[in-house]
Structure 1
């Protein structure tokens, strides 16, 4: 998923109705006409002659332990957890031996501590253990740049040393990145555009792409020199090559996607209600030889037939598996699919449970350390004007961390706030869940006019504004004003004083934004960049020194 733009997933998914609530577990749907029936792996139909199955997952994000609250629900059904996912995949493989597991990307990145503390090596080990045959790269695979992605593919120790346990040997499956090239058309080291599967005597070309937004939502220096081109164009470019190699059909793993629009009704995870136009466009643009598009990135669930192609997505965090059936007969290929819930009522796979428990035990001393408290819940979701209460607290922490170099304001990107904080004790693990990217706090010198230009860039995103959370600065804006004139004249205050366009101000932010991330290129015009602590260290220091956090009132006004 868009790693640094997407807010707390509970609210994001609730808004589309996929998750019914953030309460406790309940695998029994209520007996109402609006309940979406459970479809899982307990009653699988017998395979027909000439039938091949593909099992698709996407956006696992290192969720090895069963996700909690809303993130562990599909409708009213409790779902997810690597050991349960492994058990369901084993059940599917037993029923359909001519099969393969595929991923549409974001296997890693923005991961819980049990995976990310060990550079997401546990997640790669898990995917190896369930026999993933190929994966598209997601934008989060590039969070730490192409060099780290190559290490995850090929194995070896991270720069800061080896993780505990067995030596890390890398992904046993190919990472596919057909639309990621340098100026000479070469892919990043260790990646390939497509691969061929041979199942049940049939050849299936599998190609992968990643959203073109990637260059704006990961650290720019990590992907410098690479372009993220049109996805459909990249797929179509390689179709003749795959067909020449004997592919009878092509399956595309696209780390891009959309959502159903159910207008208040519960989302059917096998439905296709008013699907996003961009999903239809992907189906329309891709070559007719492509029979299946396994999509990702938006963390939503749908199961569509568009332009004669099966187009699906399996939500996120290992809560669903897309079971694709390919039937080969008379030189033709017929495709169908069903999304199956990864319920927790079956016996979890022992080897997977042991893997997860090992790394959880390694992370436990750090995870449980208390670093602060909150007087009440501090939500990640935006206030009416667009800034987030928790985002504002993080901005406070970044400002506090750089007051020694006279920083007077701070900016935090909305997608960098991955979860809210509950009231009461705050542990390191909770803070890590909020900010899992490991960014650095920096201070940049900007003129007052550059700050105004920066604020106006919040409306450069065509789909919705990217309103930054702030500290030390306040202003008003009109959402209906013309582009470039949203911020109301003379409303901007820095440290309580009117903004002077000609003055120079030192502002604090994270190095992702400072490098022009999320399209905020004005930061790159700044001078005299000074480096501070990591964003997580800054937040911990702030929580320790400021007592119980009180959710702040909004600092921005929308007119």
Structure 2
């Protein structure tokens, strides 16, 4: 009854795209042994566009009730990107997002990886879609002209949809502290008026719980908003789909275009506003999908330019070296990892000649697997091959370390070294990019102790790499030369600000590439009682480490 008076608005959303222009791969099933679960290509810009077009066409079948489709993402479309985008300063991502038909984007921490000036004057001017964030403002509390607090879309039959943007309040600690001023981040709250429906999009995510009973910063925000119909989160690679007690629908999805969300709002006549809302998740498999010709041609062109440089095989390993750590965290942010050991060893060993004894690398600086995928992707910079050995190309190293950060060498005293390690484990048991990967030393921490007092012992690595060396003096009387990255030295991830005394060396990706070339085949290991050891005297419990082969 009176169905013709209803209007439907469809929103298609991908989370944390991060310049993932080319497909990834994952198994389609989770069958138990002895069955196998072969991986298949998923996502990628040239394949996502036809998926979007399919759902736009489906929505059009609902006319006259369907009054528009909005395609959006909520920040971190740029930065932390694979080589095909990072090598060109992420300009290809903006160009191709134009071709994909995006209507609006938010702002997250990685959007500022190259600084606000580069974002505002190089990347955003290329976009044919607006950016929104209500809480990244100048000292007068105003947004610059490159982004706005919100955007109102005027759709069919006079329907008005308000999109309010918000950014994560920990953004200043997740990017180089010099990259944000003169702007700062306020509380992620905002409002829009004179609309039929309000959707808030932003760079906060869930950090625990389940699909329908999530916990974390995104949920805390949703539970405290008013005059909002739905909230779309990003940032934590977590799936959320639930309606909270205040009636707000909240969603978040997996990142890099391996999933997308369809949100549907049904709007009643007059001033009724949203009378029904729902959302569902979709897996954009590439099999059977014809890629968009124009986007694929642009990707092919970029690959042609980069192939001679980045497709070069620089080394190999007898084992697969994933981004995941040995406690099973896929982002490598809860315990020791093979890839973390390689990166930290490279930073220490490449600068041992100038006296570097220890190296510390934040896990958030490592973004993907070091060895080439075994499922061939013609759009990446790895050849088709059958392992072992597992190949490593220059492009794969750049994808692991896409930020352009440099090795920073400096002298610290023992107390300062302990402060660095304390900061690294301060968020545990929560996964955080500050979690340290180390070389030259091994340390033990008590996860049940208050943050800042958790590190209980530090010893040197022996020549054979095992943790059997003498204790490290953690008093101010002892001094050590260390290597870290310049992001950490500038206070990133809450590490101490040491930039004034640090010497900038090569980029980390170059140091790691040189190390792999010089030491191939590389064979990193994670041992029980290894470089990073967790103990507990109560709650919480330690993550379970599984030693590597």
Q: Deviations over 1:304-344 (max 9, x none)?
A: 22221221123222233322222222322132222233232
> Which residue in the other structure is 1:391 paired with?
340
> Which residue in the other structure is 2:542 paired with?
none
2:282 is the alignment partner of 1:340: yes
Change in Cα spacing, 1:467 to 1:389, as seen in structure 2 (3 Å) is same
2:444 is the alignment partner of 1:476: yes
SS in 2 for 1:477: strand
> Which residue in the other structure is 1:11 paired with?
none
TM-score of the superposed pair, with normalisation by structure 2: 0.81
Change in Cα spacing, 1:368 to 1:485, as seen in structure 2 (3 Å) is same
Q: Which fold has the larger relative contact order, with Cα–Cα distance below 8 Å and residues 6 or more apart in sequence?
A: 1
> Which residue in the other structure is 2:427 paired with?
461
Q: 1:527 and 1:116 mapped to 2: Cα distance?
A: 28
CA contact (8 A) 1:440 1:511 kept: yes
Q: 1:78 and 1:372 mapped to 2: Cα distance?
A: 25
> Which residue in the other structure is 2:228 paired with?
290
> Which residue in the other structure is 1:37 paired with?
none
What aligned pairs does 1:310-349 form with structure 2 within 5 A after superposition? Answer: 310-330=249-269, 331-332=271-272, 333-334=274-275, 335-344=277-286, 345-349=288-292
CA contact (8 A) 2:164 2:199 kept: yes
Equivalent position to 1:412, from 361, 371, 375: 361
Equivalent position to 1:363, from 291, 300, 306: 306
CA contact (8 A) 2:153 2:161 kept: yes
Change in Cα spacing, 1:152 to 1:463, as seen in structure 2 (3 Å) is farther
> Which residue in the other structure is 2:206 paired with?
258
How far 1:510 sits from its partner (Å)? 0.7
CA contact (8 A) 2:205 2:216 kept: no
Change in Cα spacing, 1:558 to 1:147, as seen in structure 2 (3 Å) is same
Count residues in correspondence: 477
> Which residue in the other structure is 1:530 paired with?
503
SS in 1 for 2:455: coil
Change in Cα spacing, 1:379 to 1:411, as seen in structure 2 (3 Å) is same
379-388 or 213-222, which moves further after superposition?
Answer: 379-388
CA contact (8 A) 1:443 1:531 kept: yes
What aligned pairs does 1:144-543 form with structure 2 within 5 A after superposition? Answer: 144-155=114-125, 170-188=126-144, 190-200=146-156, 201-231=158-188, 234-235=189-190, 239=191, 242-243=192-193, 246-258=194-206, 261=209, 272-287=211-226, 289-306=227-244, 307-330=246-269, 331-332=271-272, 333-334=274-275, 335-344=277-286, 345-383=288-326, 386-422=335-371, 423-461=389-427, 464=430, 466-489=434-457, 491-493=458-460, 496-500=469-473, 501=475, 502-521=477-496, 524-525=497-498, 528-543=501-516
Q: 1:79 and 1:477 mapped to 2: Cα distance?
A: 39
Change in Cα spacing, 1:405 to 1:126, as seen in structure 2 (3 Å) is same
426-435 or 313-322, which moves further after superposition?
Answer: 313-322
Change in Cα spacing, 1:346 to 1:438, as seen in structure 2 (3 Å) is same
CA contact (8 A) 1:381 1:388 kept: yes
CA contact (8 A) 1:371 1:428 kept: yes
Q: 1:463 and 1:192 mapped to 2: Cα distance?
A: 36
How far 1:412 sits from its partner (Å)? 0.7
CA contact (8 A) 2:212 2:241 kept: no
How far 1:129 sits from its partner (Å)? 1.5
Q: Deviations over 1:512-550 (max 9, x none)?
A: 1111111112xx157631111000110011111123111
TM-score of the superposed pair, with normalisation by structure 1: 0.79
CA contact (8 A) 2:348 2:356 kept: yes
